[in-house]
């Protein structure tokens, strides 16, 4: 049985060990030459580092309750705190919690939690941020934050769904992928650029135009000539973090391209050379080949060269 079919057979089984499935998928990714898929599998298996952007399915809501004391011995216990107030005084990072633990750790959290229960997070810093801002005249003594068990189970299901959808699409679009076995090495029959596109779309859900860039493919670029805002929006939609998109756009705004064949200035070229490693490491939601194509096409449009 091929590696791809083994993965499919395992992932559809109830209660499957996602850790072992991901190891097989990582081997398949290496055989097919997809660094986007390899990086995703690595993060799901080992956890997401602080500098890595987590997929949307790993960002879940947190609910908070607080205990407050007032004058003459009055008090309020376990009072729900509206998310609006949390975001207003402490920021959205408190209501939209990023689960960076490995999928194995998520599995253990789900198993260890009581049926229908919730899991707590450290919310002690919120006491200072919300002090005197929730109930006038009442002091905040304690705040507890909780994540539902269901939300963690949905992460497991999201990973399973993406693995199945990905392998089915690879089998349909790249027939050679279904013939890769444990002993097989990467062959010329597999189109690594196409694998990158499929992985990008299914894992991160970017639009097709954002991940196009294989040999002979085209990219539809919605960038206006000299329009820095549309340039930033396009790069961000293509998978580049907003901060990086803004940085390169500001550089391009201040200098002219060398030529039609080299649609970047010297500072932009240096920036790209230093930052393309982020695409290779998976920090950007597009591979190196796609990132190069996206940046070049965007520059041509921005400078009115195409």
Asked if residue 146 has pLDDT above 60, the reply is yes
CA-angle at 281, arms to 278 and 284, nearest 5°: 50
Quickly state the pLDDT bin for 211 (edges 50, 70, 90).
very low
Domain contains 108: no
Co-location of 159 and 145 in the same domain: no
Average pLDDT for the chain: 82
**Whole-angstrom distance, CA of residue 94 vs CA of residue 288:** 33
The partner residues of 65 in beta bridges, in order of sequence, read 80, 144
Say what the pLDDT of residue 184 is.
Answer: 52
- Non-local CB neighbours of 276 within 8 Å, separated by 6+ positions: 288, 291, 292
Whether 32 and 158 share a structural domain: yes
| 223 domain residue, yes or no | yes
Q: Which domain holds residue 184?
A: 3-55+154-203
Residues 77, 221: one domain?
no
pLDDT given for residue 228 in this prediction: 92
> What does the pLDDT look like over 253-263, one tens digit per residue?
999 998 877 88
Q: What is the pLDDT of residue 45?
A: 92
pLDDT at 231: 92
Decide: 146 and 119 in contact? Cβ < 8 Å: yes
Q: The whole model's pTM is what?
A: 0.60
């Amino acid at each position: 049985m091929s590696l791809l079919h083994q993965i499919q057979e395992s992932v559809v089984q109830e209660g499957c060990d996602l850790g072992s499935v991901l190891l097989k998928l990582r081997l398949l990714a290496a055989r097919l030459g997809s660094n986007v898929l390899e990086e995703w599998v690595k993060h799901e298996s080992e956890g997401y580092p602080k500098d890595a952007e987590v997929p949307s399915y790993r960002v879940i809501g947190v609910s908070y309750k607080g205990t407050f004391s007032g004058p003459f011995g009055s008090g309020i216990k376990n009072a729900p705190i509206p998310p609006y107030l949390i975001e207003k005084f402490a920021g959205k990072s408190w209501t939209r919690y990023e689960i960076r633990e490995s999928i194995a750790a998520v599995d253990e959290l789900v198993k260890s939690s009581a049926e229908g229960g919730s899991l707590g997070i450290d919310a002690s810093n919120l006491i200072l941020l919300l002090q005197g801002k929730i109930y006038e005249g009442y002091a905040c003594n304690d705040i507890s934050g909780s994540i539902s068990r269901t939300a963690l189970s949905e992460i497991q299901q999201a990973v399973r769904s993406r693995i199945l959808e990905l392998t089915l699409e690879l089998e349909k679009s790249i027939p050679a992928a279904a013939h890769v076995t444990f002993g097989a090495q990467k062959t010329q029959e597999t189109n690594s650029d196409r694998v990158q596109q499929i992985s990008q779309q299914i894992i991160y859900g970017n639009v097709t135009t954002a991940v196009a860039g294989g040999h002979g493919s085209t990219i539809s670029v919605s960038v206006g000539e000299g329009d820095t805002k549309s340039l930033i929006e396009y790069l961000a939609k293509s998978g580049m973090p907003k901060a990086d998109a803004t940085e390169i756009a500001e550089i391009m705004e201040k200098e002219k391209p060398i030529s039609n064949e080299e649609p970047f200035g010297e500072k932009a070229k240096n920036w790209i050379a230093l930052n393309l490693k982020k695409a290779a490491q998976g920090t950007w939601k597009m591979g190196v080949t796609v990132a190069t194509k996206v940046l070049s096409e965007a520059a041509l449009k921005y400078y009115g060269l195409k």
